[in-house]
Structure 1
């Protein structure tokens, strides 16, 4: 598809040939990520959370756009309801045995953190394998803020702690590289040495192009009829 100047169906910036990466603002990252999630079939509410989570990660130097793209591509064509968790006290599971969506899990954690089903006390909370666990971290910070305790997330032998202020500590390189993992969450005190990594809003061009392609699914291509119908039907000259 080609775009015309001021094309209203265009969802975001066009990425032409050039450097391998682009620097976007946090708002641009969140907007594109939200539209891409929606284009991949995610419900609007979850898509908005996906956009916010991606921006949160980039604000802490973590490659949220690549993680989101990998998750959306993996889920493409799968009903999102099948990736939502079954909420139970002490253990959350999958209805189908497939991977859980980290955005759906994170949103549910936010909703249930004050209820017994979402309690991290008394042994914590075990969650069946989650896709791209790094996408959970923004939601864990939100949970920490509501519970006034930091949250420790353990997956595949790597451990990460997130505080209410978005401060982070742990084995981030290993944790961020996980494509999937069962998760254990526990409440804890913020560890000494916790720091806020520097923000990095540089995104891989190939990733942005792929996200933009998903985002375009939410638009209607221009046609002769849409061009003819564009503009006001009457003038406002008095």
Structure 2
């Protein structure tokens, strides 16, 4: 099925709220999903896997090891935005190593959308377990191939000064219908029952309701 980038952003954000994540985190996830779709990647599958993991595992604090400065575990939906903050706070060229990321594609989406919002410019080199190396900029992911969904170690390096090209915005992207239904089911948890009690308490659409 075909959906727009705005539909992906909105649905992913609502699904993250339905999975119990804070509103700010959910907004980051929505933008990350839209960024993945924009650069030709599966935008729904990684979000769905990451949100499912977030529901079943307690959050793990971001605590770099005192010995080697590595992060030992990153749940991308819960603390991926915090990893991006840590990376962006480091000097250009200084690496950030993570022993295990549960959904690397979700983390890459969060990095991409953060670069797209950052006026300073930059590119992030992503070394994945197994030897794959990717480059993330505000507008592309190279090489442009399907991201492996499995967990694994990741090393990130931000290099400032990369000039991005104008981002392309496709009219729509194809998504897996089953994944979209599952994401919609998570998003539906944000709705209240359609009954008289909820209406008396002020639920329902207003004059304008495009969310």
Match in the other structure for 1:204: 176
Match in the other structure for 2:34: 55
Q: Is the 8 A contact 1:160 1:172 kept in 2?
A: no
* Alignment counterpart, residue 81 of structure 2, candidates 87, 101, 107: 107
Residues 138, 227 of structure 1: CA spacing in aligned structure 2 closer, same or farther, 3 A cutoff?
closer
* Alignment counterpart, residue 62 of structure 2, candidates 77, 82, 85: 85
* Alignment counterpart, residue 221 of structure 1, candidates 180, 193, 196: 193
* Alignment counterpart, residue 145 of structure 2, candidates 168, 172, 185: 172
Answer with 200-209 or 104-113: which moved more: 104-113
Aligned residues: 196
What whole-Å deviation, never above 9, does each CA across 1:140-194 have from its counterpart, x for those lacking one? 333584664321101122111012x322213733xx1232111101245899xx9
Given the alignment of the two structures, is residue 28 of structure 1 paired with residue 7 of structure 2, yes or no? yes
Q: Is the 8 A contact 1:61 1:197 kept in 2?
A: no
CA distance in 1, matches of 2:119, 2:44: 26
What whole-Å deviation, never above 9, does each CA across 1:76-121 have from its counterpart, x for those lacking one? 2333x33x42246873424xxxx52224444124433453xx4453
* Alignment counterpart, residue 160 of structure 1, candidates 97, 116, 134: 134
Tell me the C-alpha RMSD between the 2 structures.
Answer: 3.2
Structure 2, unpaired ranges of 5+: 204-211
Match in the other structure for 2:55: 76
Q: Is the 8 A contact 2:28 2:110 kept in 1?
A: no
For the pair shown, which has the larger CA radius of gyration, 1 or 2? Answer: 1
CA distance in 1, matches of 2:87, 2:155: 14
Q: Is the 8 A contact 1:49 1:103 kept in 2?
A: no
Relative to the length of structure 1, the TM-score reads 0.69
Relative to the length of structure 2, the TM-score reads 0.76
